Amino acid sequence: MTRRDVFGHPCGYPALECRSKSDGHRNGGGRVTHSGFWILVRKRWFVIAALSLLGVVIGSAYVVVTPPEYTAKTELFVSTVSGDNTADLAQGSNFAQQQARNYSIVAQRDIVLVPVITALGLKTTPDELSDRISASVPLNSSMISISVTDSSPARAAATADAVGTSLANTVIRLVPKRSDGSSPVNLQVVQPARVPTSPSAPNPRVVLAFAGILGLLAGLGFTAIAELISAKVRSVDHLKEITNLTILGTVSDDKAAVTSPLFSQSNSQSLRSEEYRQIRTNVHFLHPDESHKVFVVTSSIPGEGKSTTSANLAVTLAASGIATCLVEADLRKPALGDYLDLEGGVGLTTILAGDATLDEALQSWGPHQLQVLLSGQVPPNPSELLESNQAQNLLRTLKARFDVVIIDCPPLMPVTDAAVVARAFGGAILVVGVDRVETRELKMAMDALTTSGAPILGVIANFVPAGTRGRYQTYGQTSGHAQSERRTRKPEHRTKDREVVPSLPG
């Protein structure tokens, strides 16, 4: 039998592991993806929407409290007195265009504005009036466009006309006269100013759109900063990029798991049941050279579901006919007794204290005789107890007696218990709570295992949001209608379902 026959891949490793290794090289280990960005936006959509709405509210308040301003515009045409032939006309046109640019600058000078202030009786200075005036010359034209902004629409129009008239009179005085005493340049108003009917500023549409965009950018900026400060694992793809490790399986975020943490308490055809069976199948390929296997299950921080994962993994292994023992090595905050509804007074610490034997402390659970060794009484020195030769020998005894031993250990960030046990038994399986653990915490936990010399055998993604599951994940689930159809069929047409699981060596 070839390695391909055993593992289904020519490299000799499980196909899942080979894909993970190759994908890791392609992903680059830390590349930011568009999917990760949109997951983050969906996660913090309320903050982004709130800041966008706040921007619109602030923009609306600005429009309400800001006095409106009106802009009136007048236009003047610059012409020159030239000869009758074509060359003289062309030369005069070019001269007029050049002078129009000069006159547009003169329009904002005191020589033009002082007469305007006097004629209209304006209570302002030339500098203040100049700030409210703009003059421009369209490209390749002899037109001067003068715009005046004022809080009064009528005053804006009157000021624009007065500036145009004053500019025309000033140019006549400034330009040298011809021999006959006439001016070679004329400025004529071709478009008098009209009284504006709507304000030019603030423009409600522009202000609200600009304020909304600023609010949106503020929301995205806040989200980015918050992600940099406390970036969490957002998805399975994100997890692959961070760890570049084998993903042994995913467990969906199911609210029903709060009251029914063990999948055996629910429908055997449920999504969680299928997910744990898939994890069990992938776990079979770990430690391929050992006939009796020990798997240490831990997490980075509390609350990632490591105890629930350990229990469900042990239940699925026992259900497949494998002699399985579940050991609770979390001597600080034990939880398996509550999950399994077993008495937790006698357990691992009781044996180590010499108050009970292993057979007396083991408890059977479920129809498949899963053997459970709970923690027992919480000791004052958990780390020293697990590091002792007595504890290590006890765990080796369990390994020799059972095909598979699942050890539920404390999280890696608060204490070092899991690293100690994982080093003694060839590595650990790391449970990662999606949207529960920060990336820096996950990396620190991985570093803790690496520093202790315990390899990470694989990662189980827990609390995976339903929206990130692929369509294939629902394959194999049975609807209530389909189940009712099966119940109505005749017995001779039904076939008892059998679950085929790879056998352990030995």
DSSP string of 123-162, one letter each residue: SS-HHHHHHTEEEE--TT--EEEEEEEESSHHHHHHHHHH
Question: Rounded to an integer, what distance in angstroms lies between the CA atom of residue 489 and that of residue 476?
Answer: 19
Q: Is the pLDDT higher at 12 or at 457?
A: 457
pLDDT for the residue numbered 141: 87
Nearest CA among 164, 151, 10, 3 for reference residue 76? 164
Task: Find all residues with CB under 8 Å of 433, minimum gap 6, and list them.
Answer: 233, 299, 303, 304, 305, 462, 463
Copy the structure tokens of residue 357.
């034997």
pLDDT classification of 122: cutoffs 50, 70, 90: very high
pLDDT for the residue numbered 36: 60
Helix (H, G, I), strand (E, B) or coil at 70: strand
| Consecutive H or E run containing 58 | helix 45-65
Nearest CA among 433, 437, 407 for reference residue 422? 407
pLDDT for the residue numbered 34: 59
From 84-98, 220-234, 325-339, the region with the lowest mean pLDDT: 84-98
DSSP string of 416-453, one letter each residue: SHHHHHHHHTT-EEEEEETTTSBHHHHHHHHHHHHHHT
User: Model pTM?
Assistant: 0.58
What does the pLDDT look like over 471-483, one tens digit per residue? 444 444 443 333 4
Phi, then psi, of 48 in degrees rounded to 5: -65, -45
CB 55 within 8 A of CB 217: no
Q: What is the mean pLDDT of residues 166-194?
A: 87
Distances 85 to 96, 182, 214, 502 between C-alpha atoms, Å: 17, 20, 59, 104
CA torsion, ordered 86, 87, 88, 89, to nearest 10 deg: 50
Longest CA–CA separation in the chain, Å? 131
CB 379 within 8 A of CB 385: yes
Q: Is the pLDDT of residue 45 over 60?
A: yes
Cβ-count burial of 31 within 10 angstroms (0-12 exposed, 13-18 middle, 19+ buried)?
exposed
